[in-house]
Amino acid sequence: MNPLDPIADVYRLENPEQALALLNPMRAEILQLLAEPASASELGRQMNEKAQKLNYHLKSLEKVGLIRRCGSRQVKNLIEVLYRAVARSYVIPDSFGWSEDLTQRMKDQGALRQLVNVSERIRTDALRLMEVSDEEGEVPSAVLETDLHLPDERTRERFLADYADAVRTVVRKYQAQGSAEGGFKAILAVYPQLEQGGGKR
């Protein structure tokens, strides 16, 4: 795989082992980050995890065919292997023989676990940035929060497609190219609104 070649928007899973890998929160996050080529050490810095731990998950994801090696580079005296995900999103085929309810629950649980992981990472990063702000003054940041009307599956799919197109346009213009200077992180989370008692609206 050439690191400059675009990856697929959607990958149809070929076996249940791939689907089970997606349910692991850390592996789901790795796949999200590997929309662009990265090494275990790069992922470690982004996820605040040890490269050795990430190497284990990378090998497991490579074994089931969800990521591929796309090159290598020398960093000081070490050769780092670069990995990239095969796609940006994944579809569980009906041929697995799983019920529609089970398939949907797997998708929902995987997405919610990812939401919890990302929320925790945002919280950790925000606390660190507050410490930096106390020492160095203002730290530039921005928050966008709005309500969406997505009443059915078809509308949600259209929204995600439109959002993905818009993000790709912006990312191509502003995407970080390996330099830490001027680097920012952008994350969007979409989930149902909750009543005060905890139920969905």
pLDDT at 56: 92
Q: What is the mean pLDDT of each run of 10 residues along the chain (201 residues)?
A: 69 84 83 90 89 91 93 84 90 69 64 62 76 77 83 84 83 68 74 62 55
Please report which helix (H) or strand (E) contains residue 55, including its range: helix 51-63
Please report which helix (H) or strand (E) contains residue 117, including its range: helix 100-136
CB 10 within 8 A of CB 89: yes
